[in-house]
Structure 1
C-alpha cells in the first residue's frame, strides 16, 4: 500500500508524515517513509529549477517508492510525483511527454492526502520563502488534481490539530487486521 502527502512547500507535510509513521509503527504496521527527494537533488530547485532537475527528482521519487514498496507493507511518501511535477510545470510549462507515465504512476497511490496552504514558508536551508511561489505551486496542484479527476483526502487548514486523526481514520480500513473467518478456531489450544 502507498500513501502520499501532497501540497506546496512549507505547509507541514514532513511533520505530518513523521507523526503518521510513528502512529502506524505503534500499531505494528510495517511502514517506510519516502522522504522529500528534492532536498537531495544535485541540480537547481525552487524557483531556479529546470527540466533536468525536475526529471532527476521525478525519476528518483519513483525509484525510492519502488525500493520501499519492495520491502514494506505501507509506504508513506512525503510528496508524490504529482506535486513534484507541478514544480516542473511552474518552471517549464506543460510536458506532454511526461503525461502517460504520470497517469500510470498516480494510479499506484492508494491514498493522496492534500495538505492545505495555511502558512507562509520559513527558511530551513533549502525551502524557498517566496509566498507568491508557494501559492503558485498550491494553485497548480489543485488544478492538476481537478484536471486529472483524482480522488484526494483534503485536510482543512483550520483543523491542523486533527490532521493526524483524520488521516488515520482514512487509513484504518486499509491497515486494520482482517477479522478471522472462524474466530472460535483462534481460541483453540
Structure 2
C-alpha cells in the first residue's frame, strides 16, 4: 500500500487532474481509493475567515479519514486530495504566533511525512476561480496560500512540482508512480 497526495491552493486544477488520473488508473486496473478533501464538511469558517479552530478540525478530520482507510484498504494506492500541506498553507496565512499555532504546524508537518509521494499543483493564472459555495473568489488569498504551501513543502524531498498543463501533470504523476513501483 502507498499513500500519495495531490495538493495545491484552491482552483489550481486539482479536481480536473484527479478525474483524468482516475480514468487512467481504471484503464490500467490499478487498485486505488480516493479521499476527497475535508473542507466541504467543516463546520467552522473557511478561507479568509479561517481560524485556528478551523485548522485543528480540518487536521483532525484528515488524520481520521486517512487512518481509517489506511487500516482497512490493504494493498493498493490511497490518493488524497489537498491534505495537510493545504491545511498548513491556510493556517500559515492566518499570520498567527503562539503555542497553538506552533503545535498545529508541527502536527501538520509530522503527518505530511506519512505520504509516500506529494504532488504539488501550482495555480494556473489562466484558470479563473469558480464560485462553488465553498471557495472564496480571492486571487490574493489564493496566491498567499500557495506561497505558504510552497514554503511548507520545501522540507519534504518527496514533493514533485507538477507542470502547468493538465495532460503533462497526469503524465508526470503516472511516471513517478511507475518509477516508484506503484503501478
TM-score by length of structure 2 reads 0.87
Alpha-carbon offset, residue 65 of structure 1? 1.0
Alpha-carbon displacement from aligned partner over 1:79-135 (angstroms, at most 9, x marks no partner): 121211211121252521124423321111011001011133111121111000000
Query: Is 2:103 the partner of 1:93?
Result: no
Q: Relative contact order: is structure 1 or structure 2 higher (C-alpha 8 Å, sep ≥ 6)? A: 2
Aligned to 1:20: 21
Distance in 1 between residues matched to 2:105 and 2:140, nearest whole Å: 26
**Aligned match of 2:177 in 171, 181, 184?**
171
Aligned to 1:152: 159
Distance in 1 between residues matched to 2:163 and 2:171, nearest whole Å: 12
| Runs of at least 4 residues off by over 4 Å | none
**Aligned match of 1:112 in 109, 118, 133?**
118
* Residues 60 and 7 of structure 1: CA distance in aligned 2, closer, same or farther (over 3 Å): same
List runs of 5+ in structure 2 lacking aligned partners.
Answer: none
List runs of 5+ in structure 1 lacking aligned partners.
Answer: 177-189
Aligned to 1:56: 57
Q: Which has the larger radius of gyration?
A: 1
Would you say the 8 A contact 2:59–2:108 is kept in 1?
Answer: no
- Alignment size in residue pairs: 174
Distance in 1 between residues matched to 2:15 and 2:70, nearest whole Å: 19
Counterparts of 1:32-71 in structure 2 under 5 Å?
Answer: 32-71=33-72
Would you say the 8 A contact 2:88–2:152 is kept in 1?
Answer: no
Distance in 2 between residues matched to 1:51 and 1:141, nearest whole Å: 17
Aligned to 2:77: 74
Distance in 2 between residues matched to 1:61 and 1:15, nearest whole Å: 21
Distance in 1 between residues matched to 2:22 and 2:65, nearest whole Å: 17
Q: Which moved more, 1:166-175 or 1:93-102?
A: 93-102
User: What is the RMSD of the two structures over their aligned residues, measured on CA atoms?
Assistant: 1.6
Query: Is 2:149 the partner of 1:141?
Result: yes
* Residues 175 and 115 of structure 1: CA distance in aligned 2, closer, same or farther (over 3 Å): same
Would you say the 8 A contact 2:17–2:166 is kept in 1?
Answer: no
